[in-house]
A and B are shown apart, each in its own frame.
Chain A
Amino acid sequence: QSALTQPASVSGSPGQSITISCTGTSSDVGSYNLVSWYQQHPGKAPKLMIYEGSKRPSGVSNRFSGSKSGNTASLTISGLQAEDEADYYCCSYAGSYVVFGGGTKLTVL
């Protein structure tokens, strides 16, 4: 049950686009289209941003998009805004358990 691999930090300026990668294995990300992404602001509970790889829950901005290629999933945020500054976690179903990534801190410069 190894954690998915995410970059520790990414940054971008307002209006730019950034992409956060999430690398797993053929036992988790690569086997299932069941990757989700969560946004967490300091002191707050996580918020679902993307599920089943690329679907957005109602109320989530279309600036957020998800994709997957092989064992790597990606979250892209376009038109960066100050309020996007937060920690982001990927998550995947892995057959008999669920695994999260280590998290990525997004800084909006």
Chain B
Amino acid sequence: EVQLVESGGGLVQPGRSLRLSCAASGFTFDDYAMHWVRQAPGKGLEWVSGISWNSGSIGYADSVKGRFTISRDNAKNSLYLQMNSLRAEDTALYYCAKDIVPDIVATTAFDYWGQGTLVTVSS
């Protein structure tokens, strides 16, 4: 059974940093691209970032470019999101999502999602 379990969310002050993790199991992690997708309270889905199977291709939404860094450790079956210079508008539930292909250069769809970890940016 595929499982994606996010962790690392919490309440953080504006300008501070937070690192999210996603532990994957039930599939061959290094065969697939992985993504972070967020959802602000009561709002729609927003793609944040994606990383190919071998970390060779990485993409970011303009809203987080230069502040967030995605990475993965295939030996640990884990995906990460380092979030710096956090803003109030980054407040959201952050989902880890598995792609159905290995590379983000032709991302087709997200077939498995975690339950999300909530990030609240507030003073």
Q: Which residues of A come within 8 Å of B, CB atoms?
A: 1, 3, 34, 36, 38, 40, 45-48, 51-52, 57, 87, 89, 91, 93, 96-103
* Best-buried of B62, B107, B116 by chain A (most CB within 10 Å): B107
Give B contacts to A, CB under 8 Å.
35, 37, 44-47, 50, 59-63, 95, 100, 106-111, 113-116
Q: In the assembly, what is the distance between CA of A36 and CA of B108, in Å?
A: 7
Known interface pairs A1-B61, A51-B100; A93-B113 also in contact (CB < 8 Å): no
Question: B109 is contacted by which of A45, A87, A91, A101 (Cβ under 8 Å)?
Answer: A91
Decide yes or no: A101 and B110 within 8 Å by CB, A45-B95, A45-B115, A45-B116 being known contacts.
Answer: no
Which among A1, A52, A93, A100 is the interface contact of B45 at CB below 8 angstroms? A100
- Of A36, A45, A47, A101, the residue contacting B44 (CB under 8 A) is A101
Provide the residues of chain A in CB contact with B35, threshold 8 Å.
Answer: 98
Nearest-CB residue, chain B, relative to A51: B109
Tell me if B46 and A100 are in contact (CB < 8 A).
yes
